[in-house]
Amino acid sequence: MSAPQPIHLHDYQPPAYRVTHTELKFDLSPSATHVSARLHLERHPERQQEAPPLVLNGEHLTLLRIAIDGQELEAGEYAVDDETLTVHAVPQRFLLDTEVEIDPAANTALEGLYLSNGMFCTQCEAEGFRRITYYPDRPDVMATFSTTVIGDKASVPVLLSNGNPVERGELPGDRHFVTWEDPHPKPCYLFALVAGDLRKVEDRFTTMSGRDVTLQIWVEQENLDKTDHAMASLKRAMTWDEETYGREYDLDLFMIVAVNDFNMGAMENKGLNIFNSAAVLTHPLTATDAAFQRVEGIVAHEYFHNWSGNRVTCRDWFQLSLKEGFTVFRDQSFTADTNSAPVKRIEDVSFFRTAQFAEDAGPTAHPVRPDQYIEISNFYTLTIYEKGAEVVRMLRNLLGWETFRKGTDLYFARFDGQAVTIEDFVDCMREVSGLDLSRFMHWYSQAGTPEIDANGHYDYAKGEYHLTLRQRTPATPGQHEKLPLHIPIRLGLVGTKSGEDLALTLDGQALGKDAVIHLCEEEQHFVFTGLSEAPVPSLLRGFSAPVKLRFPYAREDLAFLLQHDSDGFNRWDAGQRLAILALDDLIAAHRNGVEKVMDVRVVEAFRTLLTTASDDKAVLAEMLTLPSEAYIAEQQPVVDVDAIHAARTFVKQSLAVALRDEFMAVYHDHRAEAPYAPEPDQIAERSLKNVALSYLMSIEDEEAVALTQQQFEAGHNMTDVRTALTLLVHSSRDDLADPALKVFGEKWAHDPLVMDQWFSIQVTRPQPDVLERLKFLMQHPAFSLKNPNKVRALIGTFASQNRVNFHRADGEGYKLLADVVIELNELNPEIAARIITPLTRWQRFDEERQALMKSELERIRAEELSPNVYEVVEKALA
């Protein structure tokens, strides 16, 4: 087998032929669906003279018929291979008719047309449409679509596609059809079809210009009671996009469908969003607060794509972050506006600094706009999505909201109906602001996390604060030289006497008390004048740029900021920094076999937090949460999973012992049991209460054990039940955990999304028997390697969240993951290439573990690999 070859951004060429209109007819049958396509094609205006051959993409298709302008083609007039259909000579403008047969029932990759629980559905982004019919499968070919779906009345009573239904009728043999028309030109990656035995929940929305839109959520019958929250979220998102970005919905119908087998969270197909059921279904008894919030965010994300992605799309897949980074920024802002803004930022940043920083430091590091790839589906990454969102956020920070909004208005107006590039977007921002953004563009082309070393001192005599910032981006694979970036640093100077933000004057200019300074050079010096007291600097407020910022804070400074910083995010971050310093000492103590001693400054800081009335309970819950093992690991030069686990457990238990009564009081004070609502105030109460309980359970306090059991048995809502069950399963009390797991597993055996949680709870437990338990659970009737949610719940959760056990010294954790990757490589390459990530991070560990991890990667490499897994493994071993 020849090695798959990368494709390069600099090789981009416009398509030789455009499709202006696409007519599709699907005759559905599980193992032999027939797809007839009539493409209205014309040669690209710039290539009139050449008469190039017509080359269409197509994979896993059996060609049954091909005709041009009604004339069947002879054998020598075209050629078919595994990936393409070539017609050697075609006119300037013509109709191409093809008919192919495909096998949805055999499609376990879940790309193209496949079956999920007996329901036909599609996933076409990025390159799935080529598994449906022969087509120029690239985002810069945009056509209007007319789609007829034919199927059995009994097994597929509901037949959906993009746009509006224009005709329906009966056919012989107990079959029926519906024809859909989508008037908005779109690339084929936004095509969708769903056919099955589905029920709908319906609502309406009137847009700002008075258009009446029907909203539908389609689900299997047993899930009809789980759609309220998604529907309410959708309406909130529609209103928000009108008010915030002036964007209005543009069809008469907007549909969401829930499917059980789905590779990702959801997909923004025009007018017919398809969702992983985990990203849309909620019920107080089956979904946690976190799940409710995730659903709201994903519903909004997919809806927002209607403008940032669908109306204005990407020229090529290198520009993926153009739609994804911008849309993530939009959904993050929506959630911040509708819930608690500081908590949203804390959650996003703590995830980002753990997972995206790790990606940026690993063998698959790539820029926000990659310049080459082998398999595009490997590039739906944290860098493209989350770092891409941070880059858009920086533009907002640099321009200010109002100018930024002028930029987005210009972008949508200028490029509506087009497939464009990241330069097109940034050019709009440059035009409306007059800012020179040339250095800013490096954010799109350079991989790796910039590191900023900050130093400062106060000159008492002059009343000046001198701040020096030095930036450096470490080398990443294939990119050794890095250029300085344009970095917005939001900051304040907090007076040590007053505890207040001081007025900032820089180069004679008054900047207020909270300002954004621009770091553009490798090193820059800033002098703040006119200060009346010594300050502690509060730097990178709100995480104003996706960088690692080091500043030699004393622990007292951090305790001070934790109390006084006016920026909620930086108050939280001061606490994290303080905890990390204490954890570093304890990790060293553990490694050296020295007795561990708890830093009293951390205890006192927590005491203050627990006993001072706080108006933002959600932020307080975040502040009481210790940095995760994964985040602590990110700070270590060589990751010692056991020392990290021991140190973190020690801190948690020490705090629980020292502040037992305070935690207990917090628990009791936040047990209000109003009927469940996924509202910010209630969510904050529950998270505060449950954080307190988790401290108390870390020392298996007798009263806490009883309260946990009560909380489990009371069964008020999944947030409380899941927390209680997790705390029992993660404790040493198997006498309580085993019966609770049994009760829960039997009660919810019929609900796949709850069973996912049942699996995850068990494989995150710290006890050493967990790997054996995992193997046992893989035989459970509710588990299937063919279902991505199950794979993520059991194997993904184990490998990414159970660090001590995945990294077991005997290498059995690695071996298990490699076995799964090898099996999935055939079934579902996309999921295989994702689930392998923890193994690719081998450079971060000690030599013994490195050797074990590498040998598993080599074992995988010896298989006949899909391009997806091949690309990741080659990079990991390079």
Residues that bind Zn ion (CB under 5 A): 324, 327
264 binds ligand 0A1 (CB under 6 A): yes
How many CB atoms lie under 10 A from the CB of residue 281? 26
Closer by beta carbon to ligand 0A1, 316 or else 599: 316
As a whole number of angstroms, the distance between CA 49 and CA 44 comes to: 10
268 binds ligand 0A1 (CB under 6 A): yes
In the list Zn ion, ligand 0A1, none, the entry touching 720 (Cβ below 5 to 8 angstroms by class) is none
817 binds ligand 0A1 (CB under 6 A): no
Residue 266: CB minimum distance to Zn ion, A: 8
Residue 301: CB minimum distance to ligand 0A1, A: 6
Residue 298: CB minimum distance to ligand 0A1, A: 7
375 binds ligand 0A1 (CB under 6 A): no
Closer by beta carbon to ligand 0A1, 139 or else 342: 139
Residue 200: CB minimum distance to ligand 0A1, A: 22
Task: Please name which of 136, 173, 125 lies closest in space to residue 152, comparing C-alpha atoms.
Answer: 173
256 binds ligand 0A1 (CB under 6 A): no
Restricted to residues 609-628, the positions that interact with ligand 0A1 (CB under 6 A) are none
Q: Produce one character per residue of 502-528: b if its CB has 16 or more CB atoms within 10 Å, e if not.
A: bebbeeeeeeeebbbbebeeeebebeb
Report the residue from 324, 348, 557, 565 that binds ligand 0A1 according to the rule CB under 6 A.
324
Query: Strand 33-43 vs strand 451-459: parallel, antiparallel, or unpaired?
Result: unpaired
Amino acid in the structure at residue 65:
R
Categorise residue 543: left if φ over 0, alpha if ψ from -120 to 50, beta otherwise: left
Using Cβ positions, the residue closest to ligand 0A1 within the complex turns out to be: 264
In the list ligand 0A1, Zn ion, none, the entry touching 183 (Cβ below 5 to 8 angstroms by class) is none
Residue 797: CB minimum distance to ligand 0A1, A: 20
Classify residue 234 by burial, with Cβ atoms within 10 Å: 0-12, 13-18, 19+. buried
Closer by beta carbon to ligand 0A1, 124 or else 579: 124
123 binds ligand 0A1 (CB under 6 A): yes
As a whole number of angstroms, the distance between CA 799 and CA 291 comes to: 21
As a whole number of angstroms, the distance between CA 733 and CA 720 comes to: 19
108 binds ligand 0A1 (CB under 6 A): no
Closer by beta carbon to ligand 0A1, 53 or else 265: 265
789 binds ligand 0A1 (CB under 6 A): no
Q: Which stretch binds ligand 0A1 (CB under 6 A): 259-267, 440-448, 461-469, 556-564?
A: 259-267
Residue 592: CB minimum distance to ligand 0A1, A: 47
302 binds ligand 0A1 (CB under 6 A): yes
Dihedral over Cα of 526, 530, 536, 541: its sign: negative
Categorise residue 173: left if φ over 0, alpha if ψ from -120 to 50, beta otherwise: left
Spatial neighbors of 47 by CB under 8 A, at least 6 apart, are 14, 16
Spatial neighbors of 177 by CB under 8 A, at least 6 apart, are 148, 149, 150, 151, 159, 167, 168, 169, 171
How many CB atoms lie under 10 A from the CB of residue 37? 20
Q: Cα dist. 545→98, 354, 659 in Å?
A: 51, 15, 36
Residue 39: CB minimum distance to ligand 0A1, A: 23
As a whole number of angstroms, the distance between CA 24 and CA 30 comes to: 18
In the list ligand 0A1, Zn ion, none, the entry touching 54 (Cβ below 5 to 8 angstroms by class) is none
In the list Zn ion, ligand 0A1, none, the entry touching 655 (Cβ below 5 to 8 angstroms by class) is none
Restricted to residues 821-850, the positions that interact with ligand 0A1 (CB under 6 A) are 830
Judged by CB under 6 A, how many residues of this single chain contact ligand 0A1?
A: 14
Out of 127, 268, 296, 302, which one is annotated catalytic? 302
Q: Angle 422-433/401-415 helices, nearest 10 degrees? A: 130
Closer by beta carbon to Zn ion, 303 or else 758: 303
Tokens of 300: 């909004």
302 is known as an active-site residue: yes
Q: Cα dist. 233→163, 293, 297, 301, 785 in Å?
A: 22, 10, 8, 11, 31
As a whole number of angstroms, the distance between CA 457 and CA 527 comes to: 10
Report the residue from 125, 565, 599, 629 that binds ligand 0A1 according to the rule CB under 6 A.
125
Task: Please name which of 123, 122, 167, 149 lies closest in space to residue 29, comparing C-alpha atoms.
Answer: 149
380 binds ligand 0A1 (CB under 6 A): yes
Dihedral over Cα of 650, 655, 658, 664: its sign: negative
As a whole number of angstroms, the distance between CA 383 and CA 388 comes to: 6
Residue 830: CB minimum distance to ligand 0A1, A: 6
Tokens of 319: 């520009």
Closer by beta carbon to ligand 0A1, 114 or else 712: 114
Residues in the chain: 878
As a whole number of angstroms, the distance between CA 757 and CA 259 comes to: 18
Residue 266: CB minimum distance to ligand 0A1, A: 5
Closer by beta carbon to ligand 0A1, 266 or else 646: 266
Q: Which stretch binds ligand 0A1 (CB under 6 A): 258-266, 444-452, 600-608, 618-626?
A: 258-266
Closer by beta carbon to ligand 0A1, 268 or else 685: 268
Residue 303: CB minimum distance to Zn ion, A: 11
Closer by beta carbon to ligand 0A1, 813 or else 829: 829
310 binds ligand 0A1 (CB under 6 A): no
Q: Which stretch binds ligand 0A1 (CB under 6 A): 266-274, 660-668, 773-781, 813-821?
A: 266-274
Q: Give the residue ranges of DSSP H helices in 812-846.
A: 812-827, 829-835, 837-840
Report the residue from 188, 267, 626, 754 that binds ligand 0A1 according to the rule CB under 6 A.
267
Residue 515: CB minimum distance to Zn ion, A: 33
In the list ligand 0A1, Zn ion, none, the entry touching 380 (Cβ below 5 to 8 angstroms by class) is ligand 0A1
Closer by beta carbon to ligand 0A1, 277 or else 377: 377
CB 770, CB 805: distance < 8 Å:
yes
As a whole number of angstroms, the distance between CA 324 and CA 386 comes to: 8
Catalytic center residues:
302
Residues that bind ligand 0A1 (CB under 6 A): 123, 125, 263-268, 301-302, 324, 377, 380, 830
